[in-house]
Homo-oligomer: A and B are copies of this chain.
Amino acid sequence: MNELDVYRKQNFGNSSGFGDRPALLIVDFVNGFADPDQFGGGNIGEAISATAALLASAREAKIPVAFTRVVYADDGSDAGVFCDKAPGLKNLTEQSEASQVVDALAPADGEYVLRKTQPSAFFGTGLAAWLVSRQADTLLVAGCTTSGCVRASVVDSMSYNFRTIVVTDCVGDRALEPHEANLFDMGQKYADLVSSGGVIGYLAGVTAG
């Protein structure tokens, strides 16, 4: 019996679906994660490209849009265990080129740009409160890495009871095996996996509505 059979037999992998009030979260698509010599590589470049179209669609539908950046203090005063595991993270400071959102996805006025120091976009941030203020019931997630900050953010999004959609071609990772393994875990237990085509179709309905 392979792993998918076990999950089926135990009744995982059901759909949690879309709600009526989506928001879009774009995780860590900053220069340092777009650069294979820093934290990038794999299919992250393609995911950024696909996200440009998704973002345009979200703006047209006038849904709330949030971006995350990893930002540590210049003096390292807020570095912790995560930086012990991956010391390069400390280079992502407020002014560093590496911590700026990539040009192709530059935030517009009124969009929410949040700083974080941990994998999840919810941990130690105002994201949950911001989603409540927008009355969102659904979170569309793009970004990187699939096996890191996307996964952690998706688990928290689901834990807060937002219907959570991983936009499959808009998430990327430096290595493809962890990318695939984490898509599997998320699809079975935490979120629905939908391509950007499917999500853009859904957003067209939201606009119309």
Report if A159 contacts B (CB, 8 A): yes
Q: For chain A, residues 137 to 178, give those with C-beta under 8 angstroms from any C-beta of chain B.
A: 137, 147-148, 151-152, 155-156, 158-164, 174-178
Q: Which of A46-54, A111-119, A195-203 contacts its partner?
A: A111-119
Chain B, Cβ-Cβ closest to A189? B85
Report if A97 contacts B (CB, 8 A): no
Q: Which of A7-15, A55-63, A98-106 contacts its partner?
A: A7-15
Q: Which of chain B's residues have a CB closer than 8 A to the CB of A160?
A: 128-129, 132
- Beyond A85-B190, A128-B160, whether A77 also contacts B110 by CB under 8 A is yes
Q: Which of chain B's residues have a CB closer than 8 A to the CB of A182?
A: 181, 185
Apart from the given pairs A75-B109, A147-B185, 14 other A-B contacts in the complex at a CB distance below 8 Å: A2-B175, A10-B39, A12-B86, A14-B84, A16-B81, A77-B113, A81-B162, A82-B158, A82-B159, A123-B156, A124-B126, A124-B129, A132-B161, A181-B182
A-B contacts, 25 listed (Cβ < 8 Å): A2-B175, A3-B178, A7-B174, A11-B86, A13-B85, A14-B86, A14-B87, A21-B135, A76-B110, A77-B111, A78-B112, A78-B126, A81-B163, A82-B159, A85-B188, A118-B159, A119-B189, A120-B156, A120-B159, A124-B128, A128-B132, A132-B132, A132-B162, A178-B181, A178-B185
- A residues bordering B, Cβ < 8 Å? 2-3, 6-7, 10-17, 19, 21, 38-39, 41-42, 73, 75-78, 80-82, 84-88, 109-115, 117-120, 123-126, 128-133, 135, 137, 147-148, 151-152, 155-156, 158-164, 174-178, 181-182, 184-185, 188-191
